[in-house]
Structure 1
Amino acid sequence: MDDLRRGTVVRLPAAVAATLTVVAGLGVRAAMDGDVAKYAGDGLYTVLVYTLVVLVAPTVRPVRAALVAAAVSWAVELFQATGLPDAWGRRSGLVHLVLGSTFNPPDLAWYLVGAACAALLHRALSATRAAAPGEQW
Structure 2
Amino acid sequence: MRARLLPLAAAFGVLLAGLGARAALDGDPAKYSGVALYTVLVYCLVLVIAPGTRPWITAAIALGFSWAVEFFQLTPVPARLAGNALARLVLGSTFNPPDLLWYAAGAAVAFGAHLLARRTRPVLGTGRVHEDRQ
**Fold shared by both chains (TM-score > 0.5):** yes
| Counterpart check, 1:129 vs 2:124 | no
C-alpha offsets along residues 62-92 of structure 1, whole Å, 9 cap, x if unaligned?
Answer: 11000000000000000001121011122x1
The separation in 1 between residues aligned to 2:13 and 2:102, in whole angstroms, is: 19
> How much has 1:33 moved relative to structure 2?
1.1
What is the 5 A alignment of 1:63-82?
63-82=56-75
The separation in 2 between residues aligned to 1:39 and 1:125, in whole angstroms, is: 25
Contact kept, 8 Å, 2:81 with 2:88, in 1: the verdict is yes
> Pairwise CA RMSD of aligned residues?
1.8
The separation in 2 between residues aligned to 1:51 and 1:121, in whole angstroms, is: 11
C-alpha offsets along residues 1-26 of structure 1, whole Å, 9 cap, x if unaligned?
Answer: xxxxxxx2221110110000000000
Gaps of 5+ in 1: 1-7
- Percent of residue pairs bearing the same amino acid type: 50
The separation in 2 between residues aligned to 1:62 and 1:134, in whole angstroms, is: 20
Which structure has the highest helix share of the two? 1
The separation in 1 between residues aligned to 2:105 and 2:53, in whole angstroms, is: 19
| Counterpart check, 1:36 vs 2:29 | yes
Aligned to 2:46: 53
The separation in 1 between residues aligned to 2:129 and 2:60, in whole angstroms, is: 31
